[in-house]
Chains A and B, each alone.
Chain A
Amino acid sequence: MTVDTITSFLHMGGHAAYVWPSFVITVVVLAALFVHSLSFLRAGEAALKGLKAEDEASDET
């Protein structure tokens, strides 16, 4: 692959300003949604573990 073809690929026939942001925004939004969903799950699991530990501690007393 020559530098020319890479440059012309990135150039997207003059429409680079529209095509690339479309793909980039898509990937960013989908990734962000995934990260948010995962952290929501992790936060819940951490809270659950903490509460269960409290429960066990108060059961022992």
Chain B
Amino acid sequence: MLHRFANPTRFLRLSAALLPWTAGLTLVLLIAGLYLALFGSPADYQQGETVRIMYVHVPAAWMALFCYSCMAGASAVGLIWKHPLADMAAKATAPIGACFTFLALVTGSLWGKPMWGAWWVWDARLTSVLILFFLYLGYMALHNAFDDPTRGARSAAVLALVGFVNVPIIKFSVDWWNTLHQPSSVVKMGGPAIHPSMLTPLLLMGLAYTTYYVWVLLLRLRGEIVAGKVRAIRLRQAHG
């Protein structure tokens, strides 16, 4: 099935059709999510209004891990089957994942100050998410450090796979170690431990972020395909 989309022209047509829908869906979900987060949900009886930060912090953290997993998966496909679109998908996902990780760190810090009294603590989860951020940056730097784009893609793919060991560490860090960070309350055995009035905006924001990811990914993929064509023409002209 994937091979049908390996053809860049076919992909360009498909993405052109999908783009307005993903854009529209993202905006609708985002507005709905933000509305519920800021107006339509109750304040926490312990944390007060700061709990609203959860609605931007938690989905960003989810996406940080999700994007890295996508990047690692695409890297594996690129290394094993040499599918050109897979390499491009990994490259395009990296900046999106880095932004989400950055947001998770910053909003987490802004939530931590009123809740724990500290902007930052060096516990297992925060440290491993910081490492994830550096891994994203390293990936992007490595990918762009070679004159030959394929070489860059291969090298970065290996890095993405080596760094994937960090993802389960982040997920389970709050279970394995004594951390200040709150343990899992949504994705755990026995179902979510949050009240529906808070779960709904959370899930809406999560969905909004996911459609945003698809939207920007499609844009960047189109950009990569076009950049590839430009490179090919320039090479041909140089050798012409």
Contact = CB atoms under 8 A, between A and B. Distances in A.
- A and B interact physically: yes
Contact of B226 (A12, A26, A33, A45): A45
Nearest to B115: A18
Contacts of B114: 15, 18
Contacts, number: 93
Judged by DSSP, the binding face of A is helix
B11 interface: no
Interface in A3-61: 9, 12-15, 18-19, 21-23, 25-26, 29-30, 33-34, 36-38, 40-41, 44-45, 47-48, 51-52, 54-55
B219 A51 contact: no
A32 B49 CA distance: 27
A51 B220 contact: no
Interface stretch (B102-110, B140-148, B186-194): B102-110
B99 A18 contact: no
A19 B216 contact: no
Contacts of B219: 34, 37-38, 40-41
Interface stretch (B81-89, B154-162, B196-204, B227-235): B227-235
B46 to A, nearest CB: 12
A36 B106 CA distance: 20
Given A22-B53, A26-B107, A37 B216 contact: yes
Given A18-B50, A19-B50, A26-B60, A41 B222 contact: yes
B201 to A, nearest CB: 12
Interface of B: 34, 37-39, 43, 48-50, 52-53, 56-57, 60, 95-96, 99, 102-103, 106-107, 110-111, 113-114, 212, 215-216, 219-220, 222-223, 226-227, 229-230, 233-234, 237
